[in-house]
Structure 1
Amino acid sequence: MRTNIIFVRHAHSDYTPEERTRPLSEKGLRDAQAVSELLKKENIHHVLSSPYRRAIQTVEGIAVSLGKEIVIEEDFKERVLSEKPVEDFHAAITRVWEDEEFSWDGGESNKAAQDRGVKAIKRVLRRLKGKNIVIGTHGNLMVLIMNGFDSRYGFDFWKQLDMPDIYKLSFDGSELKEVTRLWRRKDSVDIWNSL
């Protein structure tokens, strides 16, 4: 029996420097409603989320519609890029993807964030074996976790993600068997095929 992890990268948020309380934008709230409608077809058993407000808000609708509690999992929070805001985000994020051991002051390396995320997924796979689980999370961490199971999912994959975006990962035990993109914008092209 397969366990399905449905990663939901949060919808668009209004920027604030405080990561934990940053809310969805008006567009993000509209997209979160579309996420909920799409996920109703997936026979969801559990809803988990990063502790960050924008991730919770993105999966809140499906949890409410199914009468499920959102279980907050600290380890699904976004990777910390740097202790202080960076001047050039593109250059800073490129650097950490070029060297998995590198980290900016006060930040997490790709390796550290990936280890945290993969361990969290393995705990979920053991605890909720055979279930369909929605996880509200963040783009960088989601791709680092996917990369931990299949190296095809890397920096180029991260760069083409939508906000929100939804990927269903099907596992047999802790072995990744299939990846399916569930979110499709009319104007987006999905260049990443299933395993």
Structure 2
Amino acid sequence: MQSNDKNTATTILLIRHGETAWNAERRLQGHLDIALNAEGARQAALLGAVLASEPIDHVVSSDLLRARQTAEAIAHSRGMAVEVDPALRERCYGGFEGLLYSEIAARFPLEFAAWQARDVDAVLPLGANRGETFRQFYDRAVGAIMGQAAGHPGKTIAIVAHGGVLECAYRAAQGLPLETPRDFKVLNASVNRFVVEEGVLRLVSWGEVEHLRPAVLDDLT
């Protein structure tokens, strides 16, 4: 006898938060809680408008302000609440946080070199927060996404997170080794579509930014 169970595949709209002043000046944010700038607020409003007609059952966000502000722009017109999930935070960069790239290179030359060489197990210098290796961050970020999918089978969920989280999802869906260079863009306020079915994350489309003008910033590399 054939099963009448509904399709339990989960559709995920994975969205990077809108622009912040630190994005614009290439200052590393990590776990530091930076708000959207005026351009980021504009992007969030456009994002909310373009997604207003899409069937979204649930909106979830990192607990950092830049992500929550972006998620609220999506949820507001729907009269929905935003679920906050701290596991969707950006990677913690320890002593790198709050610094420009040039400042990181000057202050922490060895750690900066390892980071740029994609040493995924390199330990970051201690700062206000304790840094994560890229492998630790990848496991956390992908685990959070898969956990949200498992909690909403058969639903469509909008997840608002950060550039690093989006990178991890792309690598997981494409089967890319963590050590390989990032040769794909991660844009502010972009919509990136995935499906999770039978515990497998699959990429559907990447980097939708047609709703935004002018061009948006890539993630820090």
> Structure 1 stretch 22-31 or stretch 149-158: which is displaced more?
149-158
Q: Is the 8 A contact 1:96 1:110 kept in 2?
A: no
Structure 1 residue 98 corresponds to structure 2 residue 118 = yes
Structure 1 residue 4 corresponds to structure 2 residue 11 = yes
Q: How does 1:63-142 map to 2 (within 5 A)?
A: 63-85=75-97, 86=99, 88=101, 92=112, 95=115, 98-105=118-125, 106-142=130-166
Q: Distance in 1 between matches of 2:140 and 2:117?
A: 16
Amino acid at match of 2:123: S
Other-structure match for 2:197? 172
Distance verdict in 2 for CA 1:168–1:68, change over 3 Å: same
DSSP 3-state at the match of 1:104: coil
Q: 1:156 aligns with which of 171, 182, 194?
A: 182
Tell me the percent identity.
23
Q: Is the 8 A contact 1:96 1:102 kept in 2?
A: no
Distance verdict in 2 for CA 1:8–1:93, change over 3 Å: farther
Distance verdict in 2 for CA 1:49–1:84, change over 3 Å: same
Aligned residues: 188
Distance verdict in 2 for CA 1:88–1:62, change over 3 Å: closer
> Structure 1 stretch 86-95 or stretch 70-79: which is displaced more?
86-95
Other-structure match for 1:13? 20
Amino acid at match of 1:8: I
Where structure 2 has 5 or more consecutive residues not aligned to the other structure, the ranges are 1-6, 106-111, 216-221
DSSP 3-state at the match of 1:121: helix
When the two structures are superposed, what TM-score results if normalisation uses the length of structure 2? Answer: 0.74
Other-structure match for 1:44? 56
Q: Is the 8 A contact 1:3 1:131 kept in 2?
A: yes
Other-structure match for 1:29? 41
> Structure 1 stretch 9-18 or stretch 72-81: which is displaced more?
9-18
> Structure 1 stretch 99-108 or stretch 112-121: which is displaced more?
99-108
Amino acid at match of 1:5: I
DSSP 3-state at the match of 1:168: strand
Other-structure match for 1:193? none
Q: Distance in 2 between matches of 1:155 and 1:54?
A: 26
When the two structures are superposed, what TM-score results if normalisation uses the length of structure 1? Answer: 0.83
Q: Is the 8 A contact 2:194 2:203 kept in 1?
A: yes
Other-structure match for 1:146? 170
Q: Is the 8 A contact 1:167 1:183 kept in 2?
A: no
Q: Distance in 2 between matches of 1:87 and 1:63?
A: 33
DSSP 3-state at the match of 2:56: coil
Where structure 1 has 5 or more consecutive residues not aligned to the other structure, the ranges are 189-195
